[in-house]
Structure 1
Amino acid sequence: MKFKNYILVCIALMISASSFSQQGKQKKADTLFNKFSFVKAAEVYNELIANNYNKDYATRQLADCYAYLRDPNNASRYYKNVVKQEKVPIEYYYKYAQSLRGMKKYDESQEWLQRFIDSGGVVNANDFSKDVNFITSVFGAKQQYFLDKVYFNTKFSDFGAFEQNGKVYFTSSRDEGVAVKRLYGWNEQPFLDIYVTDAKTKRNVDHSSKLKGDVNSIYHDGPVTITKDGLTMYFSRNNYKDQVEVKDKKGLTNMKIYRATLRDSIWTDVEDLSINGDEFSTQHAALNSDDTKLYFTSDRPGGYGGSDIWVVNIYPDGTLRDLQNVGKVVNTESAEGFPFINNEGTLFFSSDGHTGLGLLDIFGTIKGDNDEIVDVINLGVPVNSNKDDFAFTMNQNGITGYFSSNRPGGRGDDDIYAFHRVPTLQVEGVVTDAINSNPVPNAIITLFDDKGNKIAYMETDKNGFYQINIDRNKDYKIVASQNKYIDDYRNFTSKNVQTELITINANLLLNPKPDVVKLAELNTIYFDYDKHNIREDAALELDKIVKLMMVDYPEMVIRIESHTDSRGALTYNDKLSIDRANSTYEYLISKGIKPERITAHEGFGERRLTNGCEDGAKCEETDHQLNRRTQFIVVKME
């Protein structure tokens, strides 16, 4: 009996020791997790699962490790088990949905997102669920970006390429060729440094291409941006001061943006910026086209959640003032980062909070009439994928540039991708009144292909302006129409146009349709024999003309032509007809018609008879009356 009890005690002690051992492993795993050492933490959580110790908890933690490592395949594998657990927090439905999206399993992802919502979860205002046709629309959109070969990627993390003056600056953990390597616990790769190489290089880049000077440190450095004059660099770096890594209250080291100056081909005089802080991260610097604004990423207080994009003014003395968040159109409750501003002032950024194809996607912004950001647009494939796509930059030509991604098919972890852009081509123009050169609003613009098929139409705006996207290498016909005008059209082609060209101009002129009913009211007026005064019946007709010109056609321009019958001498009749033209002119002017709207008032005597009542002919008085007249010729009209 004593021996039996001894055995039981030994077994109990062994179980207890094993339990204490597993508790120690879980504590170790959690410590590694909280220090963002996800690779090592995942190894220990796997051991706990294999030993069936606190398996549900370890599985949740392991899935999160893979999610942080941007590995949706493994994350999805373990989240699939997590969502089967009893009383699992509903946030894991959302995490599972996100990991499925990272694997292009969009339908299944949508199902789990809906389950998250049905369980009481609240999705981001910009979540991909808002547009069930989003995936179809993005993959079906006309491709603008095309990928080009990059020769300097490695098996390590390479990202954040920025080109200036024929050089490419980029960030990499490739510390190959160095005897002593310091590894970053998050992903067990060397710390990041900044490298520079020729933009046209076709060879790999080793440690000898590290940026010279004081920018690279023993911790993370990069990515960078440089002012247009090439003399000032803004770059990200761990909070590192006086050879000491500065930690926040949670024991974590945040990021800061530093400024360096180029002196004698060396980057030096590294300066900590006023926008930084020890308790939050500030990183991903970007400059606007004239280097007066600094955009950056930060999780500082006052944002919308996760990390946001902020902007601050750069004053001539180098001080940074007027800090502000770029707003909720861009920023969401999730993570936004890696801003970039092109020459036209368009902000590009990465986000996992806006409608996307996978994890981080790259977006561009759309501005309104007052230059404010009113919407964002997903750049689509091939820039975006079902993995992380970020660090978008565009070169000065507006056509080429770089972005980074951890998509399959690369050389390593994060890879740099070069692109060239074939911009959407547009036909645009202004529709103008041919008579008065005023714009014609609400004119219908119809676009036809070379076979006469109608492929697009729109109305001109209040300024007579229109703009329609077209395909390259095609022939077109464009027609402008409006019910008051005669149609105008132009044939044009988009064949053999330069890649840089984004606009073909096609202005159109519309001539007004004569209004038969209105113009019929311009009746001929008649005069008594040998008289030039305005008769009462003639005054009534002239008043109609005044109304027509003042009210109905305020831009109408006319010419006055007066005549006589054949009785009397030729020279006398010439003078009489001129007197009649003058009387008519003076009457219209007295009623408010501006002189410049009557181009001429002439007399033609008896030279333009309307019938055969010439000298010597036997004619009734009513026939002669038809020749004693003033007529009105429309020169221009609205």
Structure 2
Amino acid sequence: MKNKNYILVCIALMLSFSVFSQQGKQKRADTLFNKFSFIKAAKVYRELIDNNYNKDYATRQLADCYAFLRDPRNASRYYKNVVNQKNVPVEYYYKYAQSLRGIKKYEDSQVWLQRYKDSGGVVNANDFSKDINFITSVFGAKQQYFLDRVRFNSKYSDFGAFEQNGKVYFASSRDEGVAIKRVYGWNEQPFLDVYVTDVNSKKNADHTDKVKGEVNSIYHDGPVTITKDGKTMYFSRNNFNEDIEVKDKKGLTNMKIYRATLVDGEWTNIEDLPINGDNFSTQHPALNIDDTKLYFASDRPGTKGGSDIWVINIYPNGTLLDIENLGDVVNTESAEGFPFINNEGVLFFSSDGHTGLGLLDIFATIKGEEDEESIVDVINLGTPVNSNADDFSFSMNPNGITGYFASNRQGGRGSDDIYAFHRVSILNVEGVVTDAINSNPVPNAKITLYDKDNNQVAYMETDENGYYQINIDRNQDYKIVASQDKYIDDYRTFTSKNIQTELITINANLLLNPEPDVVKLANLNTENFDYEKNQVDGDSTNVKNSQLNPIYFDFEKYNIRKEYALELDKIVKLMTVDYSEMVIRIEAHTDSRGTTEYNDRLSYNRAKSTYNYLISKGINPSNIESYIGYGERKLINECADGVVCKEEQHQLNRRTQFIVVKME
């Protein structure tokens, strides 16, 4: 019995020691988690799961570790177990949905997001559920951005590339070539430093390429932005200055934005800015085009979500005043960061709260039409800039064509890699449809775009200002037609071939000529006109609703030819004697040879010379409603640009016509 009792006591002690050991492990794992040492914490949580100790809790924590490490594949693997636990908090449905989105399981993601909502979860106003067709529309959109090779990535984290004056500045956790390495507990990588290399350098950057001066410290430094004159740098750094590290109430070292000046080739005079605080983070600096505003990310008091985009004015003496949150259009209940302002004043930023493809996506803002300072919406940049992983730290060079961003997507060299891009802007055709008589815009005019084979490509209506805009493909031939009730159709042909990349708009204004108040008739037979009786033989009403004989012009001329002066004299007699109330409209045309602009001027001059002749012969100006030049827009045969035609065929297009608008 004594031996049996001894064995039982030993077993009890062993179990007690085992439980105590597992309790110690959980405490150690939680301590590592709370210190953001997620890689080490994940290892201990896995051990707890293997030992079946407090397994549900450890699984939740392990899934959260992978989420913080931006590893959606492993996160979704463990969240899948978490959401099947009894009495699991509903926020894990949302976390699972996010992780599924990160591995491109978009339909499954929607299912769990709906379950989160049905369970009482509150969804962000700008959450990815708001547009169920978002994924299709993003992948089906016309590609604008194309990826280029970057030579200076490492196997560590590289991001925040910013180009200026032939140099690229970026943040990196590479520290190769240094004997003593200090690592960051969150991801077990060295701390970030700021590097600079030539844009066209063929060698990779190493520790010798760190920016000179006092910017780099023993903790995180970067990313950076630099004023246009190259003399002032704003950069992110842990709350560490003058060899003093400051922690908040939770024992964390937050981020701050510092300012440095360039002196003799080195960045020095490090300045702690008044926008910073010890109990919140301020980071990711960006400057507007004239260096008068500083944009940044912060979780300071007043922040809507995890972090928001803020802006503050920079005055000529360097003073920072009038801090402002960019508001609900940009900021969500989730995290926004990495702002950048291009030369057109467009804000780009990263967010995991707006509708996206994965974790962090890059967005651009849309400015208001009346107030360009206002932001009315944001758009996702789509693929290949965005992916199902984290995409962030977007920057664009002054040319508006090239730039950089960072991503931890698959296929990269390190955990975060820098990607270069070149942009082929979407080309569009735009114009205004106007009334040819009074030059007023024509709203709700039907605009139809055709390709070279006369297939309809697009269709729309003009707005209240007669304006239209249609996106088109490059390297194509098009015809665009404007039509409206009570107007004669107008059209233009144009090409998008050999268009410079920088050009994004082709102008194609269109003129609509009102239909006459009376119907056009067959040619008036002036041979039957009896000038002695001043009337046409037979029923005089045969003149009504008729089109008078046209006159023709020599190539590139607008003077009235002698033989057609006689034709005009007939019109004069007709309108001044028998039909003094008749009102006509003069329409002049050219053949297709010459530019559109030249032919517009030539046809106008032909119309005006015809008008002047008739007035000089005694026709009352009030009997001529208008004189209009249509250029080459209304050819009466197939002799368009590039078509080989005989001279007599071109001659038929070089004409002025007379439209009877009113008889009485």
Question: How do 1:213-224 residues align onto structure 2 when only pairs under 5 Å count?
Answer: 213-224=213-224
Instruction: Look up the equivalent residue of 1:634 and give its one-letter code.
Output: E
Q: Offset of 1:602 from its aligned partner?
A: 7.3
Q: Give the Cα separation in 2 of the matches to 1:95 and 1:476.
A: 49
- The C-alpha deviation readout for 1:228-247, integer Å capped at 9, x for no partner, is 11111111000113312111
Query: 1: distance between equivalents of 2:264 and 2:621?
Result: 88
Instruction: Say if 1:420 and 1:630 are closer, same or farther in 2 by CA, change over 3 A.
Output: closer
Rg larger for: 1
For residues 51 and 483 of structure 1, the distance between their equivalents in structure 2, rounded to whole angstroms, comes to: 80
- Aligned partner letter, 2:210: K
Question: The residue matched to 2:623 in structure 1 has which SS?
Answer: strand
Q: Deviation per CA, 1:389-413, whole angstroms, max 9, x where unpaired?
A: 0001100100100000000000010
Q: In structure 2, how many angstroms separate the alpha carbons of the residues matched to 1:332 and 1:235?
A: 25
Match of 2:464 among 462, 465, 474: 462
The residue number in structure 2 matching 1:505 is 507
Match of 1:383 in 2: 385
Q: Deviations over 1:86-116 (max 9, x none)?
A: 1111111111111111111112122211221
The separation in 2 between residues aligned to 1:184 and 1:118, in whole angstroms, is: 40
Is residue 78 of structure 2 the alignment partner of residue 87 of structure 1? no
Q: How far off its partner does 1:84 sit?
A: 1.8
Q: Per-residue deviation at 1:219?
A: 0.4
* Matching of residues 43-192 of structure 1 within 5 Å: 43-192=43-192
Q: After TM superposition, list the pairs within 5 Å mapping 1:266-281 onto structure 2.
A: 266-281=266-281
Provide the residue aligned with 1:336 in structure 2: 336
CA shift in 2, pair 1:512/1:58, >3 Å: same
Q: Please name the residue that 1:594 is paired with.
A: none
Structure 1 CA distance for aligned equivalents of residues 94 and 409 of structure 2: 22
Would the alpha carbon gap of residues 600 and 438 (structure 1) be closer, same or farther in structure 2, given more than 3 Å must change? farther
Q: How far does residue 601 in structure 1 lie from its aligned partner after superposition?
A: 11
- Give the Cα–Cα distance (whole angstroms) in 2 for the partners of residues 136 and 260 of structure 1: 46
The question of 1:633 aligning with 2:599 is answered: no
Match of 1:494 among 496, 504, 511: 496
Q: Find the residue that maps to 1:60 and give its secondary structure.
A: helix
Is structure 2 residue 197 aligned with structure 1 residue 206? no
Q: TM-score, normalised by structure 2?
A: 0.78
Structure 1's 604 and 221: CA in aligned 2 closer, same or farther, altered over 3 A? closer
Normalization by structure 1: what TM-score? Answer: 0.81
- Match of residue 424 from structure 1: 426
- How far has the Cα of 1:482 moved from its partner? 2.7
Give matches, 1:348-387, under 5 Å.
Answer: 348-369=348-369, 370-371=371-372, 372-387=374-389
Partner amino acid, structure 1, of 2:144: Q
- Amino-acid identity (%): 79
* Residue 451 of structure 1 pairs with residue 442 of structure 2: no
Shift of 1:599: 9.1
Q: Which amino acid aligns with 2:213?
A: G
Please say if 1:404 is aligned against 2:406: yes
CA offsets, 1:496-529, max 9 Å, x none?
Answer: 11111111111222333322299xxxxxxxxxxx
C-alpha contact 2:615 2:621 (8 A) present in aligned 1: no
For residue 44 of structure 1, report the CA deviation from its aligned partner.
1.1
The residue type equivalent to 1:288 in the other structure is N
Q: Residue type of the partner of 1:412? A: G
Measured in 1, the distance between the counterparts of 2:492 and 2:27 equals: 76
Shift of 1:464: 2.7
SS across alignment from 1:128? coil
- Change beyond 3 A, Cα 1:233–1:50: same
Instruction: Summarize deviations over 1:510-556 as a string: whole Å, max 9, x none.
Output: 333322299xxxxxxxxxxxxxxxxxxxxxxxxxxxxxxxxxxxxxx
Letter in 2 for 1:72: P
Task: Note the C-alpha offset of 1:425.
Answer: 0.2
- Distance apart, 1:118 and its partner CA: 1.7
Partner of 1:27: 27
Give the Cα–Cα distance (whole angstroms) in 2 for the partners of residues 631 and 25 of structure 1: 100
**Which runs of 5 or more structure 2 residues have no equivalent in the other structure?**
521-575, 581-610, 629-660
CA deviations 1:534-591 (Å, max 9, x no partner) are xxxxxxxxxxxxxxxxxxxxxxxxxxxxxxxxxxxxxxxxxxx99xx9xxxxxxxxxx
Mapping 1:506-545, distance limit 5 Å: 506-516=508-518
Match in the other structure for 2:640? none
1:189-338 matched pairs, under 5 angstroms: 189-338=189-338
1:5-44, aligned counterparts within 5 Å? 5-44=5-44
Kindly state the Cα deviation for residue 321 of structure 1 after the two structures are TM-superposed: 1.1
CA distance in 1 between counterparts of 2:447 and 2:479 reads 10
Tell me, yes or no, if the aligned pair for 2:350 and 2:361 is still in contact at 8 Å.
yes
| Aligned residue type for 1:78 | Y
Greater CA deviation, 49-58 or 190-199? 49-58
Matches within 5 A, 1:598-609: none
Matched residues in 1 for 2:285 and 2:624: separation? 69
Match of 2:534 in 1: none
Of residues 436, 444, 466, the one that matches 1:434 is 436
1:333-370 Cα distance to aligned partner (Å, 9 max, x none): 00111111111111111111111111111111112222
Aligned residue-pair number: 542
More divergent stretch after superposition (138-147 vs 116-125): 116-125
One-letter identity of the residue aligned with 1:404? A
Q: For structure 1, which segment, 203-212 or 122-131, has the greater mean C-alpha deviation from structure 2 after superposition? A: 122-131
Match of 1:572 in 2: none
Tell me, in whole angstroms, the C-alpha distance in 1 between the residues paired with 2:229 and 2:17: 67
Deviating more after overlay: 454-463 vs 327-336: 454-463
| Contact 2:437–2:626 under 8 Å retained in 1 | no
Structure-1 separation of matches of 2:453 and 2:219: 63
What is the CA-CA distance between 1:7 and the residue it aligns to? 2.2
Matches of 2:334 and 2:252, distance apart in 1:
20
1:14 Cα deviation after fit:
1.9
- For residues 601 and 633 of structure 1, the distance between their equivalents in structure 2, rounded to whole angstroms, comes to 9
Q: Equivalent of 2:482, from 477, 480, 483?
A: 480
Structure 1: unaligned runs, 5 residues or longer: 519-576, 582-597, 609-628
Distance 1:270 1:515, change over 3 A: same
Does the residue aligned with 1:130 lie in a helix, a strand or coil? coil
Give the secondary structure class of the aligned counterpart of 1:170.
strand
Counterparts of 1:10 and 1:632, CA distance in 2: 121
The one-letter amino acid paired with 2:243 is: Q
| Cα 1:631–1:61 shift into 2, 3 Å | closer
CA distance in 2, matches of 1:473, 1:490: 17
Sort the Cα spacing of 1:84 and 1:486 in 2 relative to 1 into closer, same or farther, 3 A: same
User: Quick one: which amino acid aligns to residue 330 of structure 2?
Assistant: V
C-alpha distance in 2, partners of 1:601/1:162?
Answer: 68
Kindly state the Cα deviation for residue 198 of structure 1 after the two structures are TM-superposed: 0.7
- How far apart, in 2, do the equivalents of 1:445 and 1:250 lie? 63
Aligned position for 1:620 = none
Structure 2 equivalent of residue 614 of structure 1:
none
Cα deviation per residue 1:267-301 (whole Å; 9 max; x = unaligned)?
11111111111111000111111111111100111
